């Protein structure tokens, strides 16, 4: 899935394993026939609403030119504009370097906007332009049914305002945060633009695309909660707001996992967890011994993860949760050789999110031999802090059996952007489950 | 005055011929059986030359018109006076003449480390050491084999790669010895290098086993220190063989060089430790269950260590 800023900075997620969707931004903007649309609907929606929809340009002040563009729309007569957080993230993270400009197709009038509030978890931002006059878009109060036609509007590729029809498909079922699955071509630059039902009410905010008309909207309820929680003119520390939102999100996800179904299913001669809760999707894979005739050990693995990272800045993703179980066995290698291979695998685990030196601290790790039940294992726990968000950590846990001569079982999890207490609670539960 | 002749044949076999009781007259040299000194060399004439004992105890040599002539040192001679330790070459045979009272060097001492190391130069020693080095390397490959497809070319490459470095280094030292001492001592140097190689290969097995059980050892750079210790001893032995420096100087160099290398290593380690890396650098060492002699802690004990790790992580935010 890719975020639809133009030029969009990052892939928002990568799907696991062989089943990964091939992600890309540059979807062709060709004619499509998937949606039967009466011209009057698209035209009337556009005519009713386009006065409230702006292109958002993030301007590098020193270069005096735009570095990225997106879309946004007026939701309040005081001049509040809704858009995606990722469209304006540069301006939030380095305020002195960028300013935000709003303009429409004719480019006759340029407004300077400030960031009023953000919801980093749901990728939403509210901008404020006091002098802005224009129609206010109504937010939908009623739910849509799957198959209903919806229209997304935005400024793709700096091409001018564009209306894209598509189908509403309800909430994506296994997403880490609520996303509406919209079948229509969202393109880079449309990020932050509105999507409408055929009454011309906003049902969501354009956010990401996974190609082939698989696109995602942030449901309008998320925008409403952000709007309700934003009192105008209040001085906000946006970084701290984001930190609290990330903590809250990690809390929500980990509590949901702790309440989930911790059922063990066999993996090799060991046990492994399956999908604990809805947003953790598992994929499996194993060595094909018919095709690979070498004497390397047989392996089978199960890997479960959330479907997308939370975008904090073009260089920092967080919020990812990964669980992995890896079974290894060999009849052909002796114990010394088997453990040499096993050590190579055990030594190369990396977290599923990444960031720069400016964003993240260095890893602190500790290892120990731990005896769960009758097994002897080697356990490794690593943590790294966040530079600008105290109290947030990435955590990597690894445990591998070391008491069997020619077989081994590794369990691993990564929690990105969590707190000490949550990580400790989750580790305790994970270790107690004893997938051995 | 009599004469002792050291005869060195084409195949570098040496024998001593004792004529110390002969005081006057002639000593004939050639391939024919009726000569006083018979040389089994196809390039020597049946009657090649003769030694003439002078009245005053002097010797001289006379060539008898031989096919290949005679040389004293590097010059061709027909008729020349000889003194003790002179070398004549007849055909491909080398004759060195000694006065019976010629003083030979005192015995090399087995208590002197240099002279002892110089004795470390037989082909059989080299052969045994080479076999030892090949076996330790084979053991290393066997233990580190993880099921890849093997082919002879790859194994050959590994062996050649492993032995080419000590060979190149030894050759360089030999060249230095040839310049500084006049002799290359190649075999001694190669043998010392092979010993160092075998020690380096073998000590790691017990070391890794101990470090696996007591991971603190890994954090203490002990492995690097041990490697450098072996390197120091190797350097000391090689300096003894190749140079004529004072023993004190050799010890100083052999101590200083590894110490400097260790400091450089520490500096690199410490500066790398500050570098940001997305992959955590944890201790992933795993060995076969037979090597693990200790038992672990309970899961609860491990969980209680987590706050300490978070505190460490806080200290690593810059």
What is the ipTM score, two decimals? 0.84
Nearest C-alpha neighbor of B260 from the set B281, B289, B231, B236: B231
* pLDDT on residue A6: 52
Each residue's pLDDT tens digit, A203-233:
999 999 888 889 999 999 999 999 999 887 7
Least confident of A38-52, A297-311, B5-19: A38-52
Cross-chain Cβ contact A366/B281 below 8 Å:
no
Q: Are A308 and A12 in contact (CB under 8 A)?
A: yes
Cross-chain Cβ contact A385/B305 below 8 Å:
no
Query: Over 90: is that where the pLDDT of A63 sits?
Result: yes
* pLDDT on residue A4: 56
Closest chain A CA to residue B150: A294
Query: Over 50: is that where the pLDDT of A24 sits?
Result: no
Orientation of helix A420-433 relative to helix A238-258, angle to 10°: 20
Output B255 or B56, whichever has higher pLDDT: B255
* pLDDT on residue B21: 84
In this prediction, residues A378-387 reach a mean pLDDT of 95
Q: Which residues of B touch A337 (CB under 8 A)?
A: 142-147
* pLDDT on residue A420: 95
Q: Using a pLDDT cut of 90, give the percent of chain A over it.
A: 60
Does the CB of A229 have a partner CB in chain B at under 8 Å? no
Q: Is the pTM of this model over 0.90?
A: no
Query: Over 50: is that where the pLDDT of B106 sits?
Result: yes
Least confident of B105-114, B172-181, B256-265: B105-114
Query: Over 60: is that where the pLDDT of A8 sits?
Result: no
Least confident of A93-102, A246-255, B178-187: B178-187
* pLDDT on residue B35: 93
Tell me how far apart the alpha carbons of residues A405 and B140 are, in angstroms, rounded to a whole number.
19
Q: Which residues of B touch A346 (CB under 8 A)?
A: 284, 286
Query: Over 90: is that where the pLDDT of A60 sits?
Result: yes
* pLDDT on residue A26: 26
Output B6 or B104, whichever has higher pLDDT: B6
Cross-chain Cβ contact A367/B286 below 8 Å:
no
Does the CB of A159 have a partner CB in chain B at under 8 Å? no
SS (H, E, C) chain B: CCEEEEEECCCCCEEEEEECCCCCEEEEEECCCCCCEECCCCCCCCCCEEEEECCCCCEEEEECCCCCCEEECCEEECEEEECCCCEEEECCEEEEEECCCCCCCCCCCCCCHHHHHHCCCCHHHHHHHHHHHHHHHHHHHHHHCCCCCCCHHHHHHHHHHHHHHHHHHHHHHHHHHHHHHCCCCHHHHHHHHHHHHHHHHHHHHHHHHHHHHCCHHHHCCHHHHHHHHHHHHHHHHHHHHHCCCCHHHHHHHHHHHHHHHHHHHHHHHHHHHCCCCCCCCCCCCCCCHHHCCCCCECHHHHHHCHHHHHHHHHHCCC
* pLDDT on residue B285: 92
Cross-chain Cβ contact A338/B288 below 8 Å:
yes
| CB contact residues (below 8 A), chain A span 302-331, against chain B | 330
Q: Which residues of B touch A344 (CB under 8 A)?
A: 146
Q: Which residues of B touch A296 (CB under 8 A)?
A: 146-148
Tell me how far apart the alpha carbons of residues B190 and A413 are, in angstroms, rounded to a whole number.
51
Cross-chain Cβ contact A368/B302 below 8 Å:
yes
Q: Which residues of A touch B141 (CB under 8 A)?
A: none
In this prediction, residues B16-30 reach a mean pLDDT of 87
Does the CB of A420 have a partner CB in chain B at under 8 Å? yes
A:B CB pairs within 8 Å: 184
Q: Using a pLDDT cut of 70, give the percent of chain A over it.
A: 91
Cross-chain Cβ contact B282/A348 below 8 Å:
no
Q: In A198-324, which residue ranges form alpha helices assigned H by DSSP? A: 220-228, 238-258
If DSSP codes are grouped into helix, strand and coil, which group holds residue A12? coil
Q: Which residues of B touch A299 (CB under 8 A)?
A: none
DSSP letter, residue A156? G
At residue B291 the predicted structure's pLDDT band, cuts being 50, 70 and 90, is very high
Does the CB of A354 have a partner CB in chain B at under 8 Å? yes
Each residue's pLDDT tens digit, A322-345:
999 999 999 999 999 999 999 999
Closest chain A CA to residue B272: A362
Q: Which residues of B touch A355 (CB under 8 A)?
A: 278
Least confident of A169-173, A431-435, B149-153, B264-268: A431-435
In this prediction, residues A140-167 reach a mean pLDDT of 89
* pLDDT on residue A10: 35
Query: Over 70: is that where the pLDDT of A33 sits?
Result: no
Cross-chain Cβ contact A431/B299 below 8 Å:
yes
In this prediction, residues B67-85 reach a mean pLDDT of 90
Mutate to test the interface with A, among B217, B297, B306 (most CBs of A within 10 A): B306
Each residue's pLDDT tens digit, A114-133:
999 999 999 999 999 988 88
* Chain A nearest CA to B318, separation (Å): 6
Query: Over 60: is that where the pLDDT of A29 sits?
Result: no
């Amino acid at each position: 899935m890719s975020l639809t800023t133009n030029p969009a900075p990052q892939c928002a997620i990568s799907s696991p394993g062989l089943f990964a969707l091939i992600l890309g931004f540059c979807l062709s903007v060709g004619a499509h026939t998937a949606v039967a649309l009466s011209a009057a609907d698209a035209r009337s929606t556009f005519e009713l609403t386009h006065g409230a929809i702006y292109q958002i340009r993030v301007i590098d002040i020193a270069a005096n030119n735009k570095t990225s563009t997106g879309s946004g729309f007026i939701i309040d007569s005081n001049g509040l504009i809704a858009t995606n957080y990722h469209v304006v993230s540069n301006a939030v993270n380095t305020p002195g370097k960028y300013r935000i400009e709003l303009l429409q197709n004719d480019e006759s009038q340029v407004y300077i906007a400030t960031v009023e509030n953000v919801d980093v978890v749901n990728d939403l931002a509210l901008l404020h332009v006091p002098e802005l006059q224009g129609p206010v878009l109504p937010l939908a109060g009623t739910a849509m049914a799957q198959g209903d036609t919806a229209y997304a509007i935005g400024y793709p590729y700096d091409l001018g305002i564009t209306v894209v029809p598509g189908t509403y498909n309800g909430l994506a079922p296994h997403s880490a945060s609520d996303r509406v699955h919209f079948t229509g071509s969202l393109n880079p630059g449309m990020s932050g633009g509105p999507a409408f039902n055929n009454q011309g009410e906003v049902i969501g905010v354009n956010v990401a695309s996974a190609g082939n008309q698989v696109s995602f909207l942030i449901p309008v309820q998320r925008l409403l909660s952000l709007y309700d929680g934003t009192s105008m003119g209040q001085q906000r520390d946006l970084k701290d707001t984001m930190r609290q939102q990330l903590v809250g999100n990690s809390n929500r996800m980990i509590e949901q996992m702790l309440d989930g179904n911790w059922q063990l299913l066999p993996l090799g001669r060991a046990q492994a967890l399956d999908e604990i809760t809805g947003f953790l999707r598992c994929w499996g894979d194993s060595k094909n011994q018919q095709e690979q005739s070498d004497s390397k050990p047989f392996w089978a693995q199960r890997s479960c993860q959330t479907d997308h990272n939370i975008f904090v800045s073009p260089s920092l993703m967080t919020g990812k949760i990964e669980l992995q179980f890896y079974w290894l066995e060999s009849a052909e290698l002796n114990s010394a050789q088997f453990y040499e291979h096993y050590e190579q695998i055990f030594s190369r685990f990396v977290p599923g999110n990444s960031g720069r030196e400016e964003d993240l601290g260095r890893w602190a790790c500790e290892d120990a031999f731990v005896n769960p039940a009758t097994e002897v294992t080697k356990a490794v726990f690593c943590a790294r802090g966040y530079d600008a968000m105290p109290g947030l950590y990435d955590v990597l846990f690894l445990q591998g059996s070391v008491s069997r001569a020619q077989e081994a079982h590794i369990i691993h999890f990564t929690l990105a952007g969590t707190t000490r207490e949550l990580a400790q609670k989750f580790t305790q539960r994970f270790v107690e489950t004893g997938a051995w | 005055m009599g004469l002792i002749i050291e005869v060195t044949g084409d195949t570098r076999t040496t024998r001593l011929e004792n004529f110390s009781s002969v005081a006057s007259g002639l000593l004939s040299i050639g391939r024919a059986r009726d000569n006083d000194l018979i040389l089994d060399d196809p390039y020597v004439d049946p009657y090649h030359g003769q030694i003439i004992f002078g009245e005053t105890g002097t010797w001289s040599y006379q060539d008898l018109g031989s096919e290949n002539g005679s040389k004293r040192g590097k010059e061709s001679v027909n008729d020349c006076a000889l003194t003790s330790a002179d070398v004549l070459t007849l055909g491909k045979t080398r004759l060195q003449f000694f006065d019976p009272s010629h003083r030979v060097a005192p015995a090399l001492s087995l208590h002197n480390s240099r002279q002892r190391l110089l004795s470390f130069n037989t082909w059989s020693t080299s052969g045994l050491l080479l076999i030892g080095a090949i076996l330790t390397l084979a053991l290393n490959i066997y233990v580190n084999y993880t099921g890849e497809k093997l082919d002879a070319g790859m194994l050959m490459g590994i062996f050649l790669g492993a032995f080419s470095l000590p060979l190149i280094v030894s050759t360089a030292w030999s060249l230095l010895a040839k310049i500084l001492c006049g002799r290359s001592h190649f075999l001694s140097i190669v043998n010392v290098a092979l010993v160092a190689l075998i020690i380096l290969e073998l000590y790691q097995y017990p070391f890794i086993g101990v470090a696996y059980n007591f991971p603190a050892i890994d954090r203490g750079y002990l492995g690097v220190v041990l490697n450098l210790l072996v390197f120091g001893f190797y350097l000391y032995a090689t300096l003894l063989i190749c140079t004529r420096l004072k023993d004190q100087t050799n010890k100083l160099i052999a101590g200083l060089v590894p110490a400097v290398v260790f400091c450089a290593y520490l500096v690199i380690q410490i500066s790398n430790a500050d570098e940001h890396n997305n992959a955590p650098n944890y201790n992933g060492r795993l060995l076969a269950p037979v090597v693990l002699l200790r038992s672990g802690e309970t899961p609860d004990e491990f969980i209680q260590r987590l706050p300490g790790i978070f505190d460490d992580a806080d200290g690593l935010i810059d």
